[in-house]
A and B are shown apart, each in its own frame.
Chain A
Amino acid sequence: MSRIAQRFAQLTQAKRKALIPYITAGDPDLQTTEALLHALVESGCDILEIGVPFSDPMADGPAIQRAGERALKQHIGLVDILSMVQRFRLRDTATPIVLMGYANPIEAMGQKNFVLAAQTAGVDGVLVVDYPPEECEEFTALCRAHAVDPIFLLAPTSTDARIAAVAKQGSGYLYYVSLKGVTGVKAVDASEVALHLPKLRAASPLPIAVGFGIRDAASARAIAQVADAVVIGSRIITEIEQSPKGEEVARVKAFVRPIREALDQ
């Protein structure tokens, strides 16, 4: 069983919902990112999404765009990020790690080289925003062959046929984009999400994570009523951005704890 499947099995047994934070690798620097990942686990996060910075992040709002720009100023690339994941794994062999980003850094490294390196480093899942399943069949097969879960997005605009097709290709979990828009700009509408999720449930036995527009304990709790996992990205990145240098870990811990508590209530 993959680490992601194992984690969801444990959570189901404990009747808990997964909290999935997203942070950009290298924001403000890779060392802090590594410290933040451990801190997020200590604060009750279940799966970690690590953003791979890209020069042209078409699906991201201003907060994640700026995080990527900060990381790219230091020329952080996939190789650096995979080494960091490898270091993280020395201390934590249980928490699933998902890399999230755009196709071109992977294409530049070569799909096969990337998947092999990701597996070696201890990456459990990969979500490539601009790889819809029909454009990355070989990549998906490579991921499956090397025990890396290919995770795909579904959106409010996805048709039933599309949901069925995408659900078949994905593993690990399905990531439902809660709204029509980019990351971190609009606020999520939990009742809208609740209307769409039954279609996903009918199409797939995979756990469903919901992201985009979840920014506090209340919205996280509302989403957790209907989803298996809640993803929070831009708001955590804003905490990092606004934090005095060296206090990022404390700030992020303080932000995440009440959200964990709200999910467990």
Chain B
Amino acid sequence: MQIYDLPDARGHFGPYGGAFVSETLTQALEQLRAAYARYREDPAFIAEFKNELKHYVGRPSPVYHAKRWSELLGGAQIYLKREDLNHTGAHKINNTIGQALLARRMGKPRVIAETGAGQHGVATATVAARFGMQCVVYMGAEDVKRQAQNVYRMKLLGATVVPVESGSKTLKDALNEAMRDWVSNVDDTFYIIGTVAGPHPYPMMVRDFNSVVGEECKWQMPEMVGRQPDQVIACVGGGSNAMGIFYPYIPVEGVRLIGVEAAGEGMHSGKHAASLSAGKPGVLHGNRTYLLQDANGQIIETHSISAGLDYPGVGPEHAWLKDSGRAEYVGITDSEALKAFHDCCHYEGIIPALESAHALAYAAKISPTLPKDQVLLVNLSGRGDKDMHTVSEKSGIAF
């Protein structure tokens, strides 16, 4: 296989990626690129990052054989990468620690973030508290209502949460507002983007900080099953947990990479968030990628039961992996994800995040069609505590 060395110097993954930003941010991105290029090679920086991941996050996270569930399904064996066991409950903290360390070295005392469900907001507020930085989190007004617990969590951690009232009042609008803040406070502020999207170098940097997930799997799987998995399966909204587990596997022949998008109420309903399966390339939030848009190029509202997948774009590297055929992308509906959520609770005693439940649902769907010696590695990217409200409501239970 060819050596995979994307993105290029200007952040392009084939026709995707790049830095489509207004002039005011160009210089800030230039400084960020220079700082990241320097520190990603700096032994002291790498040592501090690894130390935080070990002692603060609790890495490495285990790989767990979901044996009972696999037996019930009667086919391929499902293994779970337990990112849900990380501090703050998801993979998001890997990236926020990396970016916070970078912000400190760049002398930026203030960090900002966008958040949808609140997981990245909580992870950012957490590291801001850990490192004594001022923290402002932008969150769509609709999401503030839906995710009251996470809003409170961020406030407990000392962050200011700003509800965003513009546009559709969801994640994409929170990202717009965070960008506006950054333009206005570019001298003292570091923008911690939570997914593998945004202008270069964010897609690369967020991927790199999360790739510890796949790196661990690469030594854990041989220890557990004597070889690498046949398929690596991860949910894709913006795509950070998927890039984190895919990236180290890109050069590994024989390992299929499967991204699972939110098919919402079904691909034909129009109510979904499957940018790669149903979108068209365009420019949003600083990069060129697949977008859900109308004929006029306006971004359309998306739907998913899981707020973390409810985004009309996707990281540009996923766009490239799709076009190049290295990764495949499929859809899982709300109801399929909910069923997997409950099955994972019942059969394995693990409450998964609704986002991760999409990846679990796909694994559970294909497992019975495959021989028992096949190995499916699923990134269990987060825990489901935050989803109690959504799931109980679906079951007609009010607290």
A187 at the interface (CB under 8 A from B): no
Whether the Cβ atoms of A135 and B19 lie closer than 8 Å is yes
Interface membership of A180, Cβ < 8 A: yes
Tell me the complex Cα distance, A152–B10, Å: 19
Report, as a range, how many residues of chain B touch the other chain.
Answer: 35 or more
Asked if A56 and B176 make an inter-chain contact with CB atoms under 8 angstroms apart, the answer reads: yes
The number of chain A residues touching the other chain, given as a range, is 35 or more
Provide the bound-state CA to CA distance between A144 and B297, in Å. 24
Contact A159–B184 (Cβ < 8 Å): no
| Given A55-B167, A59-B183, A182-B180: A132 in contact with B296 (beta carbons within 8 A) | no
* B26 CB within 8 Å of chain A: yes
Chain B residues with CB below 8 A from A57, complex form? 176
Contact B19 A132, beta carbon cutoff 8 Å = yes
| Segment among B48-56, B120-128, B142-150, B283-291 that sits at the interface with chain A | B283-291
Complex formed: what's the CA distance from A102 to B297 in Å?
10
B27: CB under 8 A from chain A? Answer: yes
Contact of B73 with A by CB under 8 A: no
- Return the chain A residue nearest B165 by Cβ: A62
A61 within 8 Å of B (CB atoms): yes
**CA distance in complex: A35, B282 (Å):** 33
B20 at the interface (CB under 8 A from A): yes
Q: Do residues B282 and A132 form an inter-chain contact, with CB atoms below 8 A?
A: no
Chain A neighbourhood of B18, CB < 8 A: 135
| Inter-subunit contact A177/B180 (CB<8 Å) | no
B residues in contact with A102, CB < 8 Å: 283
Interface residue? A105 (CB, 8 A):
yes
Interface residues of B in 276-303 (CB under 8 A from A): 280-286, 288, 291, 293, 295-300
**Contact yes or no, A182 B183, CB < 8 A:** yes
Which residues of chain B from 183 to 212 have any CB-CB distance to chain A below 8 Å in the complex? 183-187
Residue contact B23 to A177, C-beta cutoff 8 Å:
yes
Shortest beta-carbon distance from B45 to chain A in Å: 26
Residues of A close to B288: CB separation below 8 A: 107
**Residues of chain B with a CB closer than 8 A to A131's CB:** 20
Across the interface, which residues of B come within 8 angstroms of A105, CB to CB? 296-298
Give the CA-CA distance A102 to B167 in the complex, in Å. 15
| Chain A positions within 8 Å of B298 at CB level | 54-55, 72, 77, 104-105
A36 at the interface (CB under 8 A from B): no
Question: Which residue from B10, B28, B184, B281 sits with its C-beta under 8 Å from A134?
Answer: B10
Instruction: Let me know if A108 and B282 touch, CB within 8 A.
Output: yes
CA distance in complex: A177, B25 (Å): 12
Q: What is the distance, in angstroms, from A2's C-beta to the closest C-beta of chain B? A: 23
Residues of A within 8 A of B281 (CB): 107
**Distance (Å) between the CB of A152 and the closest chain B CB?**
7
Residue from A56, A107, A130, A152 within 8 A of B173 (CB atoms): A56
Q: Do A103 and B299 form a contact, CB below 8 Å, given A180-B187, A181-B183? A: no
CB of B21 within 8 Å of the partner chain? yes
Q: Which of B19, B27, B166, B284 contacts A157 (CB 8 A)?
A: B27
Assess the B285–A132 pair: CB atoms within 8 A: no
Binary flags per residue of B159-176, CB closer than 8 Å to A gives 1, else 0: 000000011000011001
The A/B interface has a contact count, at CB < 8 Å, of 127
- Bound state CA distance, A77 and B295, in angstroms? 9
User: Within the assembled complex, what's the spacing in Å between the Cα atoms of A108 and B290?
Assistant: 12
Residue in A56, A62, A109 whose Cβ sees the most chain B Cβ within 10 Å:
A56
1/0 per residue, CB under 8 A from B, across A134-176: the answer is 1100000000000000001111111100100010000000000
**B374 contacts the other chain (Cβ, under 8 Å)?**
no
Checking B25, B179, B297 against A106 with a beta-carbon cut-off of 8 angstroms, the contacting residue is B297
A78 touches B296 (CB 8 A): yes
The 8 Å CB contact of B26, one of A157, A182, A185, is A157
Residue of A whose beta carbon sits closest to that of B301 = A55
> Are A104 and B299 closer than 8 Å at their CB atoms?
yes
Choice from B10, B22, B27, B184 contacting A130 with Cβ under 8 Å: B22
By a CB distance below 8 angstroms, the chain B residues around A61 are: 180
State whether B26 touches A104 (Cβ < 8 A).
no
| B24 in contact (CB, < 8 A) | yes
Question: Measured between C-beta atoms, what is the minimum distance from B338 to chain A in Å?
Answer: 30
- Name A residues whose Cβ lies closer than 8 Å to a Cβ of B: 54-59, 61-62, 65, 69, 72, 75, 77-79, 102-109, 129-132, 134-135, 152-159, 162, 166, 177, 180-182, 185-186
Give 17 pairs: A residue, B residue, CB < 8 Å, sorted on A.
A61-B180, A72-B298, A78-B296, A104-B284, A104-B299, A105-B297, A132-B21, A135-B19, A155-B22, A155-B26, A155-B27, A157-B25, A157-B28, A157-B186, A162-B27, A180-B183, A185-B184
Write the residues of chain B forming the contact surface with A, with a CB cutoff of 8 angstroms: 10, 18-28, 166-167, 172-173, 176, 179-180, 183-187, 280-286, 288, 291, 293, 295-300
Known: A58-B21, A154-B23. 9 other contacts (CB 8 A): A69-B166, A104-B293, A130-B22, A130-B283, A132-B22, A132-B23, A153-B24, A157-B27, A157-B28
